[in-house]
Amino acid sequence: MMTKLLKRILYYFSLKNRHSGITLFELLIVLFILGVLAPITLPVFLRQVNKAKETQATCHIAYLMKQQNTYYHDVNSFTDSLSAIGSDSQPETENYVYKIMLFPPDNQTIAAHFALSKNPNLRSYVSAIYLEDNNIKGCKPFPLPDTPIRVRYPMTNQELVNLYYSRTDWASFCK
């Protein structure tokens, strides 16, 4: 059906005098089509922009996790310092704040890497590296589950600890 319509439109334009300009009616049709398509395509485009910003966060905390792994092999412990793991990246970017927390506080066998969103339209992410039977294992970055309030910056260390202990199914994210 669309090909027939397209052929008719092309045939109409081929019959027109090549030296004449476009008519007001043709201009109105083009504006109408653009007016209909713009509200449909704009939200899709904006979602893609947000996904790109979130990808930046997941790549960054995956990098931090690899640096933490290297640090553990050198020092035989985890650290919560970005500078100690040799990260030359900034702890804060335009869209995210990056933190490292060690859990549980007594033996620190888990290093969680947080990317806390500054923007309410972006999700916050976490990845973790942990010891299991004296082997280092890791979780890929995943979005933090939304609590009654969206998890985003500013968030104190104590609030992150509370969030960690409020979830009982963290291990399911690492599978």
pLDDT string in tens for the chain (175-residue length): 667 777 777 777 776 655 667 788 888 999 999 998 888 888 888 888 889 999 999 999 989 999 999 999 999 888 888 888 876 777 888 898 888 888 776 777 888 888 888 888 888 888 888 887 888 888 888 887 665 445 555 666 566 666 665 554 555 556 5
116 burial type by CB count under 10 A (0-12 exposed, 13-18 middle, 19+ buried): buried
Structure tokens at 138: 């890791």
Residue 98 amino acid letter? Y
SS3 content of the chain, % helix, strand, coil (to 5): 45, 20, 35
pLDDT the model gives residue 163? 63
Across the strands, what pairs with 143? Answer: 125
- How far apart CA 46 and CA 105 sit, in angstroms, is 40
- How far apart CA 163 and CA 143 sit, in angstroms, is 13
Judge contact between 122 and 97, C-beta under 8 A.
no
- How far apart CA 156 and CA 85 sit, in angstroms, is 22
Judge contact between 85 and 67, C-beta under 8 A.
yes
pTM for this model (two decimals): 0.67
pLDDT the model gives residue 31? 92
Distances in Å between the Cα of 118 and the Cα atoms of 45, 98, 105, 144, 160 are: 21, 11, 27, 14, 15
Span 107-150, pLDDT tens digits = 778 888 888 888 888 888 888 888 878 888 888 888 876 654 45
- How far apart CA 113 and CA 96 sit, in angstroms, is 12
| Matching residue, tokens 């900034």 | 90
pLDDT the model gives residue 160? 64
